Amino acid sequence: MLVSNLEFLPGRKVVRHLGLVQGSSVRSKHVGRDIAASFKNFFGGELRGYTELLSDSREEATSRMLEQATSLGANAVLNVRYSTSSIAAGAAEIFVYGTAVELAEDVVTDV
Amino acid sequence: MFSLVIQAGIVVSLLVLGYLFGSFAERRHYKKIREREAKGTGLPVIASRYPPQDQRYHQHLVTGSTVVASDYFKNFLAGLVNIFGGRVTPFESLLDRARREAVLRMKDRARELGAAYVFNIKFDTTRIATGRLAAMEVLAYGTAMVPMDKALGLRSALSDDDVLQPGPVHAV
């Protein structure tokens, strides 16, 4: 499956548009992490636990989107966008969406 | 009276500790950012939706992200600035660091793929709030343009999951 946030690929033809595909994931960290993070908040610096949490969450949202694209028979998702919102203390929603398309077969199909 | 003194003492010591640790962390982070930026000049990141047409490229979505926390001193300063209004410089530098770090992580990922450019870079900034905690997440993402010959060589090495892997996490 080819995933890109551009709208077209030079030299590749879009055969079919399959519409919007999306995936989302809401996750929160266990209390221990939150406490550790609040200590870090006195001294500044990266909150590694949260960085990991959000990138895992983003991975999950993306794989849900790709599942949907696969079930539609797409071989690429173009114009992908991410959006993040913090919905409650310690929980964030990751949302990813894009356009599922079918590209004409080529020398390199999808990596 | 005595408890007031103790309370004031706690606040002052937190301010001092926040200032010392916070400014140390910030200086160290900026030094690392500058070093890595100087090393990575060979991979341009371009905020354009239109990919280059000079040769054939394979496209691959790459992301980089970081969550940064403010420190007690910065929060205090920001509170002061808030009274009179104006530029909140302590938070400006915090977000600048986070954004540059996210771009560097994204570029690391693109470099692993053998990309020549990263196109259509987008940023997503969110406040991650847990109680009193003020932390910001910055995500940078874009499309790595991998020249076709390199993409063919990489084809066996890459899998579907590769799209989703975040960039390597670097020490901050």
**Residue pLDDT, tens place only, B30-86:** 999 999 998 877 899 999 888 888 888 888 999 999 998 888 888 888 888 888 888
Whether residue A55 and residue B128 make contact (CB cut-off 8 A), yes or no, is: no
* DSSP output for B11-33: HHHHHHHHHHHHHHHHHHHHHHH
- So what CATH class is B2-163? alpha beta
Is B72 in contact with A42 (Cβ distance < 8 A)? yes
Residue of A11, A44, A63 lying closest to B69 (CB–CB): A44
From chain B, the residues in CB contact with A50 under 8 A are 67, 128, 135, 137
Comparing C-alpha atoms, which of A60, A58, A68 is closest to residue A98? A68
- B122 vs A1, A5, A108: nearest CB: A5
DSSP for residue A4: -
Q: Check CB contact under 8 Å for B126 and A11.
A: no
Tens-place pLDDT, residues A48-97: 888 888 899 999 999 999 999 999 999 999 999 999 988 877 678 999 99
Sign of the dihedral defined by the CA atoms of residues B85, B122, B44, B66, in that order: positive
Residues of B in contact with A5 (CB under 8 A): 61, 120, 122, 141-143
Task: Chain A: give the shortest CA distance to residue B115, in Å.
Answer: 14
Residue B152 has a pLDDT of 66
Please name the member of A44, A50, A111 whose beta carbon is closest to the beta carbon of B158: A111
Percent of chain B residues topping a pLDDT of 70: 85
| CA-closest candidate to residue B72, choices A6, A53, A18, A38 | A38
* Complex-level ipTM: 0.84
Pairwise CA distance, residues B63 & B41, whole Å: 18
Architecture per CATH, domain A2-103, reads as 2-Layer Sandwich (3.30)
CB-CB neighbors (< 8 A) of A43 in chain B: 17-18, 21-22, 25, 71-72
Give the closest-approach CA distance of A47 to chain B in angstroms: 5
CB contact under 8 A, A41 and B65: no
Which has more confidence, A25 or A88?
A25
- Closest Cβ opposite residue B134 in set A41, A48, A90: A41
Task: Outline where DSSP puts E strands in B8-116.
Answer: 45-46, 57-71
Å from A91 to nearest chain B CA? Answer: 8
Chain A to chain B, count of Cβ pairs less than 8 Å apart? 168
Looking at every residue in chain B, the average pLDDT score rounds to 82
Instruction: Retrieve residue B38's tokens.
Output: 């100087």
Domain chopping of chain A, boundaries: 2-103
pLDDT at residue B172 greater than cutoff 70:
no
Q: Which residues of chain A neighbour B29 with C-beta distances below 8 Å? A: 45
Name the residue of chain A whose CA is nearest to B48's CA: A6
Q: Which of A4, A50, A55 sits opposite B59 (nearest CB)?
A: A4
CA–CA dist B138, A7 (Å, integer): 23
